[in-house]
Amino acid sequence: MKYVLVTGGVVSGLGKGVTASSIGVVLKACGLRVTSIKIDPYLNTDAGTMSPFEHGEVFVLDDGGEVDLDLGNYERFLDVRLTRDNNITTGKIYQSVLDKERRGDFLGKTVQVVPHITDAIKNWVESVSVIPVDGKEGPADVCVIELGGTVGDIESMPFIEALRQLYFSVGQDNFCLIHVSLIPVLGVVGEQKTKPTQHSVRELRALGLTPHFLACRSAEPLLESTKQKLSQFCHVPVGNILNIHDVPNIWHVPLLLRNQNAHHAILNQLDLLSVATPPDLQEWTKRAETLDNLTSSVRIAMVGKYVGLSDSYLSVVKALLHACIACSLKPLVDWIAASDLEDDSAKLTPEAHAAAWKTLRNAACVLVPGGFGDRGVSGMILAAKYARENKVPYLGICLGMQISVIEFAQNVVGLESANSTEFDPLTPNPVVIFMPEGSRTHMGSTMRLGSRRTLFQTPDCITAKLYHSLEHVDERHRHRYEVNPEIVDTLEEAGLKFVGKDESGQRMEILELPSHPFYVGVQFHPEFKSRPGRPSAPFLGILKQCLVMAATGQLKAYVSKYQNGILGIEDMKSVSAVSSNHIAEGLRGMILAAKYARENKVPEFAWECRLLYHSLEYVDERHRHRYEVNPEIVGTFEEAGLKFVGKDESGQRMEILELPSHPFYVGVQFHPEFKSRPGRPSAPFLGLVMAATGQLKAYVSKCQNGTL
């Protein structure tokens, strides 16, 4: 096994997790199999009981492990599925050693930090590193280890010593140390300062570890003189000083490393040049550049409890990003503190209250994520009510689903006192209850955690179609409360439908409101399995997730195509058109395509052809044809609804047809493509593309108003 250790110095929050993930991406692009380990020196056994304000989100793994958010970065960057043992904490190490001591495994010896704690750390790293996490047989080629905190922290000393011993035992060809440090620029002087990094490296060397690479974080690219100075005083070759300066998005970091030949230097250090291939990062490059070049945007109202720290909802934000990119949209997340929406806020902080409601009303869709405790719950209920009544796309995750149930019970069913026993233990109408198997005395690892199966109750629901599965889906959970099964029938009679349940049929997993364009709640956390290029279904749908699609007017067409079994047929996926062809072969297929387009009414906006031409009288286009519409049958066609809106100067030759009952169904006898120009596109083609992407209505309105 080859090990890459990533440490940090000077200050915390430099991006060691992103750096470690990016190193893994580059090595994986070279054809190597990569796994990851995160070491957190805190005494907690896991991240499950930590406040999101203090430590960011708690990331949940398939096996139910509640771990540091950096493991979410590893999974998203490397597309792997880690285990709870891939997150090592001081609490876990000490607990394992003390359990052995209580069993008498040490045969009466004095149990000490060295060697017992350090041996436990080494054994843990070596055993976990060989567990396959990419779905293949056998161990990975490289294990990337991130040591949390900064060098010099008292709590990380046993880990530093254990990793020093690991380096010695596996040999220099199997170990690579990359130290992430800060190169600040003082505003007064304007010079890149190397002294903090020098001191950090000196501290690391004093502990027995000498870095092979420096990953220098800076606002701007490092000057060559700065690299020379770092090399001289930190004993690191200039070629091994990597600069990770600020970039437009974090997907550029693997490309930065590749462009500096970091992969070659790391492979050389690990003696892997003979088995590695040149890095293939084409997809990664395309993804980073696509995000940089997005111009259209969608506003998403995030109504939550922990909006003061965006890392509290890191995976939700990343899932929204994956979804938006698939829709060629830039996500604009508007953070709304749920408590600011409440009526009490109108009296105590009227400005914040007004601003929160203005933000909510300006959003294209509403998302209520997970959380615990009663703070802000009333505001979330108001947000859910606003989305339901105003037909605004809504997605509730975990607590957000429970909020939608409470709101519906209060305002539709008429149970004004309906509530969750989490917020009101004495409520006479408990629509959300504590799960029977939960513990009321212990907090850590006592929730319903990890990957669980949800069975779709009907193949006709939106969620089943978006998951492209008519039977079930496996998603990760983290909750103590659930929808009260005794109230389900009452809610469904009022119109709310529970379209997904667990294998017992008693636990509600997915709800939908059929009378609403998109009103969905899920008890699980779909964000944890979202990946770049493979977004999570409740956020987008198979390739275009549904929350964003509903907000941009694309959902109806997408679901319609899925129902008709043509998803993936590119010629009819976005537009429906029949190209000219004078050969009889394939004619039936063209007729079927035209029938499909007419019957399925895609897309969803009406138009008038003459407006696209900016001419109310005539248009000159080029022709090439031998056959024409029989003028004797025109009257019959028009009585049936087909309209010939363009004719030649004699009035006998049909040139343009439209179907007024259809959003966009047009045929032209001429060839408009011959006069299309860059910057001056042909009108029928412009209308077709605009109709397919939901832009035509606004365009035609501008034409009509003369404001184009």
Known catalytic residues are: 398, 525, 527
C-alpha–C-alpha distance, residues 593 and 423, integer Å: 55
CB 574 within 8 A of CB 543: no
What Cα–Cα distance (Å) separates residue 16 from each residue in 12, 278, 336, 611?
A: 9, 25, 29, 56
DSSP state of 13: -
Pairing between strand 142-147 and 34-40?
parallel
What Cα–Cα distance (Å) separates residue 463 from each residue in 38, 155, 170, 407, 512?
A: 34, 46, 50, 21, 8
Q: Which residue has the tokens 């009257």?
A: 635
Contacts of 18 (CB under 8 A, 6+ apart): 73, 250, 253
Sheet of 394-397, strand order: 330-337, 297-304, 365-368, 394-397, 519-522, 508-512, 497-501, 448-456, 472-479
Residue ranges of E strands in 219-327: 241-245, 297-304
Pairing between strand 241-245 and 394-397?
unpaired
Report the amino acid identity of residue 141.
D
3-state secondary structure of 312: helix
- Between helix 696-705 and helix 683-693 the angle, nearest 10°, is 130
CB 177 within 8 A of CB 213: yes
- 323, containing H or E segment: helix 314-326
What Cα–Cα distance (Å) separates residue 519 from each residue in 334, 391, 488, 524, 538?
A: 19, 8, 17, 16, 11
Neighbours of 698 (CB within 10 A): 11
C-alpha–C-alpha distance, residues 78 and 133, integer Å: 10
3-state secondary structure of 635: helix
CB 141 within 8 A of CB 2: yes
C-alpha–C-alpha distance, residues 633 and 650, integer Å: 17
Chain centre to alpha carbon of residue 521: 17
Chain centre to alpha carbon of residue 273: 34
CB 352 within 8 A of CB 345: yes
- 233, containing H or E segment: helix 224-234
The closest alpha carbon to 253, from 229, 281, 234, belongs to 281
CB 284 within 8 A of CB 29: yes
Rounded to 10 degrees, the C-alpha dihedral 44/49/54/56 comes to: 110
3-state secondary structure of 219: coil
3-state secondary structure of 422: coil
Tell me the residue length of the chain: 708
CB 571 within 8 A of CB 474: no
Report whether the peptide linkage leading into residue 672 is cis, meaning its omega lies within 30 degrees of zero: no
C-alpha–C-alpha distance, residues 606 and 660, integer Å: 8
Structure tokens at 185: 């620029």
Which three-class secondary structure string do you get for 443-510? CCCCCEEEEEEEEECCCCCHHHHHCCCCCEEEEEEEECEEECHHHHHHHHHCCCEEEEECCCCCCEEE
Neighbours of 485 (CB within 10 A): 15
The closest alpha carbon to 144, from 129, 157, 130, belongs to 129
C-alpha–C-alpha distance, residues 698 and 708, integer Å: 10
Number of H helices, E strands in the chain: 26, 24
